[in-house]
Amino acid sequence: MSETPVETAVPAPSSGEAVKAAPLPAGHPPVKPRRIGVLLVNLGTPDGTGYWPMWRYLREFLSDPRVIELSRAIWYPILYGLVLTTRPQKSGDNYKKIWNREKDESPLRTYTRSQAEKLADALADLPEVRVEWGMRYGNPSTRNAVQRLFDQGCDRILTFPLYPQYSATTTATANDQLFRALMKMRHAPAVRSVPPYYDEPAYIDALARSMTAALARLDFEPEVVLASYHGIPKPYFDKGDPYHCHCMKTTRLLREKLGWDEKRLITTFQSRFGAQEWLQPYTDKTVERLAGEGVKSMAIVNPGFSVDCIETLDEIGREVRDEFLHAGGEKFAHIPCLNDSPEGMEVIEAMVRRELHGWI
């Protein structure tokens, strides 16, 4: 019987030491050095603000059964007959207001790339680790990011869905897409997924420090601060999605860290779409109510977003701001997401180092 050539097992390397393989048998095909990949995954972004780039992005996003749980027989006529004929133009106009014109891309892509670059620098003491980034929808795709890691010799991949709170509409579908990519590979790497970090002390501390610094830069002290999270349809919660619970716990821990009461920091949900009921209270309705009750100054923070994007910069920074002012408010501020700030990168690095244990 012929012997199947294999690499001889070697002891695990000490910290900072690259993995080394024993000499290969004569005639064995070249083997790349064994490396470990870290893949940052964010929601996604259109490639441009024009009609067709927006159409392609929205089609991919709104065709995801994790996002829209209606049957295709019901949803597709609505999607292709109404949504994709009207929404690309409107969404493109909104993206133009926040577009990074220097790089010709959305802020979400700019920040996610920067997070990956800064994480790679922070992990320079681990020479066997490679860092890439990708999107669940749009470009750079998850599949291409996985292939880039594999081409660098990564036989293990730690994927990091950049969503602090878990939802089937975000974390789960990002992981689905990763495994779709692996299904196309004959030699698929082993994978791990960073768990939701909605209650991680490092994350809560980073939010508190970032908020404190942002509020200190204002020329007013907000009477109320809203912690506004992206909403999901209420039926998803009724079926067991833990997202609402995760959001509520994040706010509670943040409130405790800041030493605030329930009237100072309020949880709300934004970005609802369609006619069905979503998680409440709604951000826009809460803003109108508070202004009507005499609140003159307000700030909004978005703890459910790892980076600023269309939902934070335009929906909150423009639409909700205008609603508050028109309803009688006088001073409004949007507190930036953690983005690629030192506080934000501390969270990402801490989570990655912890989840790499056993591989490093």
| Residues flagged as binding site for Fe(2+) | 230, 311
Of 197, 213, 247, give the one whose Cα is nearest residue 350: 197
Burial of 105 (C-beta count, 10 Å sphere; 0-12/13-18/19+): middle
**218: amino acid identity, one letter:** L
Q: Which two tokens stand for residue 95?
A: 């993206």
Burial of 204 (C-beta count, 10 Å sphere; 0-12/13-18/19+): buried
How far apart (Å, rounded) are the C-alpha atoms in residues 199 and 98? 30
How far apart (Å, rounded) are the C-alpha atoms in residues 266 and 264? 6
> What is the rounded end-to-end Cα distance, in angstroms, of the chain?
36
Binding-site members are 230, 311
Q: Which two tokens stand for residue 158?
A: 């730690």
How far apart (Å, rounded) are the C-alpha atoms in residues 82 and 84? 6
∠ CA 272-250-132, rounded to 5°: 80
Q: CA dihedral in degrees (292, 295, 300, 304; nearest 10)?
A: -60
CB-based contact 155:53 (threshold 8 Å):
no
Whether omega before 65 lies within 30 degrees of 0, making that bond cis, reads: no
